[in-house]
Structure 1
């Protein structure tokens, strides 16, 4: 979450006129993210009780792309998946516009981001992700990943001339290996995936998971690839090595809600590598662009994870 577009009290008052939520008390920008502008919004409802919301302005997605996310989050919330969902105004309209950007007003979930991850936290997020996947399996819309296979083919070619020979070869190798995986007749389960469930996209109230946030990289993809993204963030050490206790807890938590299929055991060693490659690439691009205004995250963190996954192939329990 971050603030790229300034929102005024007058902007909020104009938006709130369409809703029956109460009177504006306070609002403040949320710092710390990458893609969108976010504000906490406090209202007093008609009974005088304070209610908390989040306003999101989308900096990269346009109006035509938004219905997928509006429908998906509403679908998931109706199946008790703890995700932010868009509130509808008195006319049943959820998708709004502010400063020529798509905008959504959503409930604010309680909880905080974790600083230290335990096996129990990993069990919980694994089970929650599996429930997300089961709930999204029959979702009626599809979306191609914004930064999926076609993106990383293109961007890796653009970037390799700027990399060391070793890193360029590593990037090409991983792109090619995923292409080979896609050619296999494995029929890996697909459906709606989160696509970016790093630990700072989850909230915990005490030690209990309370919300899964930032659904705006969601798309149609391999369910196991989504789990690989989580494993590479929730279950690794600073040197890139895997914490086997946390990863075992994550995978068993997931399997308790959606047991793995036979071919997923074959695909898992490559998918954790592909997930590491994808986020290494997405971090390399702004890091190597002197004109980038995007918040820079360390690309080497994901390179270390990728090398660790190559040196010690992953296994499903």
Structure 2
């Protein structure tokens, strides 16, 4: 969500006029993130009230790929999952062009991030994640996880020259482990029967909460930033979440109490199968590997962008080493929020 492409107020107003959303009052670039150009857009509608949106210009994804993401958000929103719904024009189109780039405008969620979550927050995210997975089962479009195994195989040779001997050894060994897992019959069953559209990047900064009832209690208002979404195993999506929502950020250690609550909340909506319970430790490693690779790539092979700041890859190197050293199995019903 860095600013790669500058958008003028006049350019933004053209899209607002096309969508009949009102008169622009504020346009502000969003500095967090590394994939797309994003702006907060505030405008005054015909009703005289202030309305808030997010304008996204897509820097890597193509016009052929983008309908998957935007229609998925539309599909989920229409089924009651709290996600930003893209705005359509009179013809039902939701993908446009701004400053020469594919673009879309979506509702801005209320609230703010919870960057120090407790079990209460993990319970809400876990249950909503399962709701999202079930709601996506009848989504008609398909696109693979573009940061999955095929991408790993492509970037590992490019990254090896930047690694020290211990890092190279870790990466080589983990790729061999994940290749073996991907070739297994049990994993093939997950792909065939227990998969569908996933968020694939549901970190703490991609979920919004607002104040709720009771002191210190917050209500989840939505998931956003679906532009890493793809079709993959639901278990991988769960593992991505556990590796962010349920860890000690200082050392990557899994906070098992929080993780147990997260999984229990997920299972209230969609119980995991025996195969999923068995494979969860391996998928936690896969999720850590995916983000170690992407952070290495963004650090060593970056693109230029205004406000761009790459994340430290050492964090997910620590997470991966932790998941290898201390595999974690979630036991059904072991914790409740």
Q: Shorter-chain-normalised TM-score: which range?
A: over 0.9
Residues 47-66 of structure 1: pairs in structure 2 closer than 5 A: 47-66=47-66
Is this contact kept in 1: 2:75–2:139, CA < 8 A?
A: yes
The Cα of 1:290 is off from its aligned counterpart by: 7.5
Residues 285-300 of structure 1: pairs in structure 2 closer than 5 A: 285-289=297-301, 295-300=309-314
The Cα of 1:282 is off from its aligned counterpart by: 0.9
The residue that corresponds to 2:169 in the other structure is 169
Q: Gaps (5+ residues) in structure 1?
A: none
The residue that corresponds to 2:330 in the other structure is 316
The residue that corresponds to 1:158 in the other structure is 158
Change in 2 beyond 3 A, CA 1:286/1:49: closer
The residue that corresponds to 2:286 in the other structure is 274
Give the Cα–Cα distance (whole angstroms) in 1 for the partners of residues 19 and 25 of structure 2: 15
Q: Gaps (5+ residues) in structure 2?
A: 212-217, 332-337
Is this contact kept in 2: 1:143–1:220, CA < 8 A?
A: yes
Is this contact kept in 2: 1:77–1:83, CA < 8 A?
A: yes
Say if 2:234 is the partner of 1:226: no
Change in 2 beyond 3 A, CA 1:158/1:33: closer
Give the Cα–Cα distance (whole angstroms) in 2 for the partners of residues 208 and 115 of structure 1: 14
Is this contact kept in 2: 1:124–1:209, CA < 8 A?
A: yes
Match of 2:205 among 182, 200, 224: 200
Change in 2 beyond 3 A, CA 1:6/1:178: same
Is this contact kept in 2: 1:181–1:267, CA < 8 A?
A: no
Of stretches 217-226 and 141-150 in structure 1, the one that deviates more from structure 2 is: 141-150
The Cα of 1:7 is off from its aligned counterpart by: 1.2
Give the Cα–Cα distance (whole angstroms) in 2 for the partners of residues 128 and 296 of structure 1: 29
Say if 2:267 is the partner of 1:255: yes
Residues 1-317 of structure 1: pairs in structure 2 closer than 5 A: 1-186=1-186, 187-188=189-190, 189-206=194-211, 207-237=218-248, 238-289=250-301, 295-317=309-331
Give the Cα–Cα distance (whole angstroms) in 1 for the partners of residues 145 and 302 of structure 2: 26
Higher RCO (C-alpha under 8 Å, 6+ residues apart): 2
The Cα of 1:20 is off from its aligned counterpart by: 2.2
Is this contact kept in 1: 2:119–2:261, CA < 8 A?
A: yes
Q: C-alpha offsets along residues 244-265 of structure 1, whole Å, 9 cap, x if unaligned? A: 1111111111111110011111
Is this contact kept in 2: 1:20–1:90, CA < 8 A?
A: no
Give the Cα–Cα distance (whole angstroms) in 2 for the partners of residues 181 and 297 of structure 1: 28
Kindly report the root-mean-square deviation, in angstroms, between the aligned alpha carbons of the 2 structures: 1.5
Of stretches 19-28 and 283-292 in structure 1, the one that deviates more from structure 2 is: 283-292
The Cα of 1:227 is off from its aligned counterpart by: 0.6
Q: SS state of the match for residue 46, structure 1?
A: coil
The Cα of 1:291 is off from its aligned counterpart by: 7.2
How many residues are treated as equivalent by the alignment?
317
Give the Cα–Cα distance (whole angstroms) in 2 for the partners of residues 296 and 50 of structure 1: 33
Q: C-alpha offsets along residues 48-69 of structure 1, whole Å, 9 cap, x if unaligned? A: 1111111111111121111111
Give the Cα–Cα distance (whole angstroms) in 2 for the partners of residues 2 and 88 of structure 1: 24
